[in-house]
Structure 1
Amino acid sequence: MRHALLALSLLAPLVGAAQTVERVEPAFWWAGMHHPELQVMLYGEDVGRARATLAETPGVTLDRVVAVENPNYLFLEMTVGPDAEAGPLALTLEGPDGTQTLDYELRERSRRPGSYAQGFSSEDVIYLMMPDRFANGDESNDSIPGMLEGADRSDPNARHGGDFAGVLEHLGYIDDLGMTAIWFTPVFENDMTPAYGAYHGYAATDMYATDPRFGTTDEFVALVDAVHGRGLKVIMDMIHNHVGDRHWWMDDLPTSDWVHDWERVGQTNFTGPAAIDPYASEADRRQLVDGWFVREMPDLNQRNPLLAQYLLQNTVWWIEHTGIDGIRMDTYLYPDKAYMARWARYVLDAYPDFNIVGESWVTNVPHEAYWQDDFAAPGDGYDSDLPSVTDFPLAFALRGAFTGGGPYAIYETLAQDHIYPDPNGMVTFFDNHDLDRAYSDADDLSALALGYAFQMTTRGIPQVYYGTEVAIPNGPRTGGDGYKRLDMPGGWPGDARSVFTEAGRTEREQEAFEVVRALSRWRRTADVIHHGRLTQFIPRDDVYVYFRWDEDPGSEPGAGSTVMVVLNAASEGRTLDLGRLAERLGSVATGRDVVTRTVYDLTRPTLAVPARTALVLEVQ
């Protein structure tokens, strides 16, 4: 490592004015945590030149004090053992011109086991929202004095003012829609310039604070509690690959290798295969990992042990303090992959019921599978310890399947599921905040209905992008991503109408809403969809048929719980040969559509399927 790690006992005496402490991170910790190690970062003028001591405290020891090349930082490495009790830890910083005492707070863990860090699974339907674009419940925080960007709804790539209060007002809507978990794009402070437009949250300027334009950290905690009060879960978006260039570190970096040097490495090559390629050049691999995502996002060096520990603890702090249930980790394949595996183990060791999904934006199944826990790649032996991965290959197949491409690509993609250690742990989607909305611009809603029926009945953990339920369209392409992230009509005071109410929806929006709600609410209790087996038949004439089933070994086909899904992507009606499906239908008599409640006779040799229609049949 290029930075100097100096034991405090070897430091020269403090000269000049007494040290000052401006920041302590994390600001507090807890007794009784799974991991006993605690690293506290102190920042302030000349704090690194001080002598630090800890008053004798049962169960707590100050093991090492680390000064670095920047004298304005000091790292305290402590052990908080199982016998430690909640209360203040008396830390003293002493120099020849003054002494400062810090009472570091060690809190009692107050959350009830089982009430948080619950994880998410194939039993859930995840509602992905960008808080800035969902609803504005508190106009007073739209523009905050001293912060670089205020709200401007006239600019699709600017901040619009959505906040925690707006989400809180509409939790009943999300619950009624049939969602069971909410994934928020990052809520960290993003005090970036208006020219950059950091409403999305992926350019953190303080990793221990929520953005005040969303609300305070306490308000976020209250929102998480309110979500839990409805029996729903919260997934928090995190980024360990980079921060924003206005992060307070950037004015005074702790070490010269805290972030990678833009002048030396420049931008990442965005070539994900370099991370797994057995023939990759080291230069290409380093460019992928060490290069910056964009110029405004300094790339963090997770190989720095002090930064690595900082990031590990930051994750645990947010879980313990707020009570979230899962994490979506952004740009998973861009950081140091050894660190990312260590991070996943660290979190899941502390919270065994927790779940993490890593964003791995790749195009093929073998590459996607590499990042899932227990893949153990031949050749390099890498195991990510990551339970869930975003299923981009299936998303790409799905996006074209019902808008002219046909469903064969879906069949072919699922046929490769043998590569995944746990295909049912993959997060499925057909669009998100980074992609054009897949079906909202279609001439009719049949593409959305077909795609949504597939997503609600296939294997995996479905993620639904906010506004899909009312077929929010793509906006005008104005040079940024804002067109993919339009505001929810009615989420802002003064909006002409509100899609949060039936009266405020157009006929088209209500049609989409009814399909989405019916399938999502049905799926909540459809255990065969959560955990059952999947049998698919090769698509013929743009008709794709598959079964989700769960039966005792040796029982007759069709016995137990069975759902038959028929997706006719053709523009004409089709006649389905039921005899071809006998191995799964057996002697079942009827199938009831879970949306329309229509009953179909399955004892006949054929079944007529109207054009552009999805049938989701509970077989009797």
Structure 2
Amino acid sequence: MHLLTPLTVRLRLALALLLLAPLGARAQAIDRVEPASWWVGMEHPELQVLVYGDDIGRARVEMDPYPGVRLDGATAVESPNYLFLALTVGEEARPGALTFRFRHPDGDLVRTYELKAREPMGPDGRGGAAGFTSADVIYLMMPDRFANGDVTNDSVAGLLEGADRSDPNARHGGDFAGVAERLGYLDALGLTALWFTPVFENDMTPEYGAYHGYAATDMYKVDPRFGTNEEFVDLVAAAHDRGLKVIMDMIHNHVGDRHWWMADPPTADWVHSYERYGQTNYAVATAVDPYASEVDHSGLVDGWFVAEMPDLNQDNELLAQYLLQNTVWWIETARIDGIRMDTYPFPDKDYMARWAEHVLAEYPDFNIVGEAWMYTVPHEAYWQRGFEAASGDGYDSHIPSVTDFPLMYAFRDAVAPENGEDGPERLYLTLSQDLLYPEPERLVTFLDNHDTVRFLSRVDEDDAALKMAYAVLMTTRGIPQVYYGTELGMANLDPALGDGSKRADMMGGWPGDERDAFTRAGRTDRENEILDYVTALTTWRRTADVVHHGQLTHFIPRDGVYVYVRHPAPDADGPGGADGGSVMVAVNAAAEARTLDLARFAERLDGYTTARDVVTGRSAPLGATLDVPARTALVLELSR
């Protein structure tokens, strides 16, 4: 719980005066209406409008007649300061303004509510809702740590935390303006999609450090230290202009304890009781374990993620509808292309399935990736849509994509210097379990992310290991995600610094930085070498149709060498069709060079005569043997 600051009170009063048309003495009774507007022509006609204001729950609500729109009811709750309006917006409804009349014992209020026309999405409109697929490469960034393009919003009056770059766990000032200035850098890397960690307002105390965005205090507003809602919309549009999709990070498991709800929750069960459940047990396996005890399962889904993050109760129908609509509102408003849903196994899983089904019915081309931090393939596969036949409990999540954490660990094990020749076996065995996934090509694959130790630090800062793993990331099945800074060989800072050690600033993103790593002249020779390698593979992948959609055949690793071929399906058409080229990948994790007898791979190499090294661009005849240097991955385009 927290008290409103005087500034917040003044802002709310000013907003009410601007937006309300008073008929009585209570001209300042409505502080919030969420969502603030809606659209006609939606797939789902139901609309719930949250109205918040002093004692508004005692009002009787009437709506002036409006063709195609019906007020079905108004629900008052335990807090007298809320009303939840239930409406039906039918197919015949047209854009315009609804008029609500709040009849209150102390005076009446009139409020208008806008219904907007929907603008087309996709290539025929202004972009948006395009989804993301195995043809994409996603770049994950934390806006606070990428670039600071507007120093005037580093500290914002009325918000609890300002920027302090001397503290790795504080805000550093990165913002939308900084990202917008560097879209050219991102485009040149060969990326096709950007994933931002959450951009919602996180007005938490400096002691907590909510630069990461996962402790929302207002779900309809971006954090002012990143910019405004309008600036976020403009950033998405600018990304679309460059052919870059945008993925928004959302969290329906929890909010920050300074969310405006928490000062005055609508109902006693809006969040789960911390006194009863405490902090979550993080035992994600209990979400799928057929033998899990009730106490362990509820400890996972009802406990708070941390003490500063109240756990939302999606069994509350008013809250569930609020969250569904918030998602749709952001898709329509910002025209994003996909969502990464945080902590997917932690909320009520039936609600999450309902949410995914709702979103995908509204936007059929959209894509959702659920963060399911599971350690085994069966546990991971459970969360992908279509697994219900094998799950035992008939559960279908409805989400197309999940995060491939088992493969993340296999990437590290495959190339870590200490594993030597034995490493590739881990990768082979993990991929050999793909039969459990309904759609393995839709898994989001990655070497690391904002929650893990950076990949390079996992492999003793061995650049050869990073390059080998990156080559596999770009060529195996799935939708690859690259964590910001990987293209420069960024490693962890001092582990004693906590999460901030994984989330260093991009050098050159701030005025006054000693060098600018966004430019070739500002990078070290090592950084340029790694970036050139990454760029060669990523830009090539943009048009490598056989990697996007082709089949995969791999061979048991021998002597530390793992070989696989991406090849067209027999009935495929087009450049990557049955008569098109294949891609052979040979990963040598051994400390010595290897010479491969290509006769072993004849089933996939027959008919091919030439191999082109994707990284160097050099071509050579495909003979009887192939030399693979030590600690190297060769990516070879094969042609006839």
TM-score range, shorter chain: over 0.9
The answer to whether 1:181 aligns with 2:193 is yes
Counterpart mapping for 1:302-317 below 5 A: 302-317=314-329
Corresponding residue for residue 147 of structure 1? 159
Q: Which ranges of structure 1 fall in alignment gaps of 5 or more residues? A: 1-14
Q: Supply the distance in 1 between the matched residues of 2:572 and 2:25 (Cα, whole angstroms).
A: 83
Tell me, yes or no, if the aligned pair for 2:72 and 2:86 is still in contact at 8 Å. yes
The answer to whether 1:330 aligns with 2:342 is yes
The answer to whether 1:126 aligns with 2:138 is yes
Corresponding residue for residue 573 of structure 1? 593
Question: By how many angstroms is 1:599 displaced?
Answer: 2.2
SS of the residue aligned with 1:614? strand
Corresponding residue for residue 521 of structure 2? 503
Question: By how many angstroms is 1:257 displaced?
Answer: 0.1
Q: Supply the distance in 2 between the matched residues of 1:551 and 1:89 (Cα, whole angstroms).
A: 54
Corresponding residue for residue 549 of structure 2? 531
Q: Supply the distance in 2 between the matched residues of 1:97 and 1:125 (Cα, whole angstroms).
A: 58
The answer to whether 1:602 aligns with 2:622 is yes
Counterpart mapping for 1:48-127 below 5 A: 48-114=57-123, 115-127=127-139
Tell me, yes or no, if the aligned pair for 2:571 and 2:578 is still in contact at 8 Å. no
> Which residue identity is paired with 1:61?
R
Tell me, yes or no, if the aligned pair for 1:124 and 1:180 is still in contact at 8 Å. yes
Tell me, yes or no, if the aligned pair for 1:551 and 1:560 is still in contact at 8 Å. no
> Which residue identity is paired with 1:291?
G
Corresponding residue for residue 582 of structure 2? 562
The answer to whether 1:433 aligns with 2:447 is no
Tell me, yes or no, if the aligned pair for 1:18 and 1:96 is still in contact at 8 Å. no
1:27 to 33, 36, 39: 36
Counterpart mapping for 1:373-412 below 5 A: 373-376=385-388, 377-404=390-417, 405=419, 406-412=423-429
Tell me, yes or no, if the aligned pair for 2:129 and 2:336 is still in contact at 8 Å. yes
Question: By how many angstroms is 1:560 displaced?
Answer: 2.5
Q: Supply the distance in 2 between the matched residues of 1:43 and 1:100 (Cα, whole angstroms).
A: 13
Corresponding residue for residue 563 of structure 2? 545
**In angstroms, what is the RMSD of aligned CA positions?**
1.6
The answer to whether 1:615 aligns with 2:624 is no
Question: By how many angstroms is 1:105 displaced?
Answer: 1.1
Tell me, yes or no, if the aligned pair for 1:589 and 1:602 is still in contact at 8 Å. yes
> Which residue identity is paired with 1:526?
A
> Which residue identity is paired with 1:85?
R
Q: How many residues align?
A: 604
> Which residue identity is paired with 1:67?
A
Question: By how many angstroms is 1:97 displaced?
Answer: 2.3
Question: By how many angstroms is 1:444 displaced?
Answer: 4.1
Tell me, yes or no, if the aligned pair for 2:25 and 2:108 is still in contact at 8 Å. no
Question: By how many angstroms is 1:358 displaced?
Answer: 0.1
Tell me, yes or no, if the aligned pair for 2:370 and 2:402 is still in contact at 8 Å. yes
Superposition TM-score, scaled by structure 1 size: 0.95
Pick closer, same or farther for the CA change 1:468–1:554 going to 2, 3 Å. closer
> Which residue identity is paired with 1:398?
F
Deviations, residues 138-195 of structure 1 (Å, cap 9, x unaligned): 0000001111000000000000000000000000000000000000000000000000
SS of the residue aligned with 1:478? helix
Q: Supply the distance in 1 between the matched residues of 2:234 and 2:569 (Cα, whole angstroms).
A: 43
Tell me, yes or no, if the aligned pair for 2:168 and 2:497 is still in contact at 8 Å. no
Tell me, yes or no, if the aligned pair for 1:244 and 1:297 is still in contact at 8 Å. yes
Q: Supply the distance in 2 between the matched residues of 1:199 and 1:590 (Cα, whole angstroms).
A: 50
Question: By how many angstroms is 1:558 displaced?
Answer: 9.1
Pick closer, same or farther for the CA change 1:263–1:598 going to 2, 3 Å. same
Q: Supply the distance in 2 between the matched residues of 1:60 and 1:474 (Cα, whole angstroms).
A: 55
Corresponding residue for residue 8 of structure 1? none
> Which residue identity is paired with 1:93?
F
Question: By how many angstroms is 1:123 displaced?
Answer: 0.3
Counterpart mapping for 1:580-591 below 5 A: 580-591=600-611
Q: Supply the distance in 2 between the matched residues of 1:128 and 1:378 (Cα, whole angstroms).
A: 31
The answer to whether 1:272 aligns with 2:284 is yes
2:312 to 297, 300, 314: 300
Question: By how many angstroms is 1:273 displaced?
Answer: 1.1
Q: Supply the distance in 1 between the matched residues of 2:221 and 2:557 (Cα, whole angstroms).
A: 50
Question: By how many angstroms is 1:113 displaced?
Answer: 4.5
Question: By how many angstroms is 1:407 displaced?
Answer: 1.0
> Which residue identity is paired with 2:627?
A
Tell me, yes or no, if the aligned pair for 1:266 and 1:292 is still in contact at 8 Å. yes
Q: Supply the distance in 2 between the matched residues of 1:583 and 1:96 (Cα, whole angstroms).
A: 83
Tell me, yes or no, if the aligned pair for 1:551 and 1:559 is still in contact at 8 Å. no
The answer to whether 1:40 aligns with 2:49 is yes
Corresponding residue for residue 247 of structure 1? 259
Deviations, residues 196-239 of structure 1 (Å, cap 9, x unaligned): 00000000000000000000000000000000000110000000
Deviations, residues 312-343 of structure 1 (Å, cap 9, x unaligned): 00000000000000000000000000000000
Q: Which 10-residue stretch deviates more, 608-617 or 347-356?
A: 608-617
Superposition TM-score, scaled by structure 2 size: 0.92
SS of the residue aligned with 2:455? coil
